[in-house]
Amino acid sequence: MGDEKSFESLILGCQSKAYNIAIRYLKNEEDAMDALQESFIKIFRHLKSFKEDSRFDTWVYRIVVNTCNDILRKNSTRKTTDSIFRSEDDKETVIEIPDSSGSPEEVFDKKEKSEFIVACMDKLSQDQREIIILRDIQGFSYDEISEILKCSVGTVKSRINRSRLKLREIMMEQNL
């Protein structure tokens, strides 16, 4: 413990996914980097307390998720993010989604649809949004999500289903 370089190489495998969790949670690059840095420092500090019987990566993602939730709680007292149709100068909700698959029209269509879904996700509660990020965007398995969120797989199942149904409902409302 304590060697920064070996820690950096250890954390490198989780870095991209951790950053993407953070940017989906916090929706802007600067906050995401702050959250990631804070999370990694926490991990560096408490590396000794990591239990080897659990998976290192899920432990890292749990810390990232908790850190993001802390930041969101703090931010919620300062600003309200209740509208999915923000003013044009509020660019932070728009995340560039690179996609190289399909024809240009298809790419544009997919990209537009994805952005729309992501925008609709803002209407979900944080719990619902969180589970969509972890399952649909990041592709974590039910077991992994139960590890990250420290809840049962049954809870994960019902939460995923409810969140998706809710998101669809929101999308349908927005399409009208």
Partner 1 sequence: MKCNEIRELLSLYIDQMLDDNQRSDVEKHLSGCEACQKEYDDLNEFHLLLNEMEPVPVPDAFELRLKQALKEEKKRMNGFGGPIRSLFTNKQYRMVASVAAVFAVGILTLGVYQDVLGDFADKLNFVRQDGTEQAAPSDAEADLYGSSSGMDADSGNDIKNDDMNNKLDNLDDQIQMSTESNDQEMRYQADRNDEGSATPMQKNAPVKKEFAVAVPERASGNAGGSDSTAPSDEAYYEAGGAAPSDGVDAADENAKEKEISYGALAQDESRPKSKAGLSGESCSRSLTASSVERNTAAVQYYMNLIEERLDGFDYQVLNSGYAQTGTWNFKIFIFRGKDGNTYNEEILIIGKDGKIEVICSNEITGL
Nearer to partner 1 by C-beta: 15 or 76? 15
Q: Which residue pairs, CB below 8 angstroms and at least 24 apart, start in 34-41?
A: 34/71, 35/64, 35/67, 35/68, 35/71, 36/64, 38/67, 39/63, 39/64, 39/67, 40/11
- Give min distance, CB of 90 to partner 1, in A: 19
Answer yes or no: are the C-beta atoms of 122 and 84 closer than 8 Å: yes
Nearer to partner 1 by C-beta: 35 or 76? 35
Nearer to partner 1 by C-beta: 76 or 102? 102
Closest of 113, 141, 124 to residue 72, by C-alpha: 124
Residues 39 and 133: their CA atoms lie apart, in Å, by 18
- The helix or strand, by DSSP H or E, that contains position 21, with its residue range, turns out to be helix 4-26
- Give min distance, CB of 121 to partner 1, in A: 9
- Give min distance, CB of 166 to partner 1, in A: 11
- Give min distance, CB of 70 to partner 1, in A: 13
- Give min distance, CB of 136 to partner 1, in A: 4
Answer yes or no: are the C-beta atoms of 95 and 118 closer than 8 Å: yes
Amino acid at 44: F
Residues 136 and 96: their CA atoms lie apart, in Å, by 17
Nearer to partner 1 by C-beta: 29 or 90? 29
- Binding residues for partner 1, rule: CB under 8 A, are 2, 4, 7-8, 15-17, 19-20, 23, 29, 33, 36-37, 40-41, 44-45, 48-49, 95-101, 110, 113-114, 117-118, 132, 135-137, 139, 142, 157, 160-161, 164-165, 167-168, 171-172
Q: Residue 92 has which token pair?
A: 């932070």
Nearer to partner 1 by C-beta: 114 or 155? 114
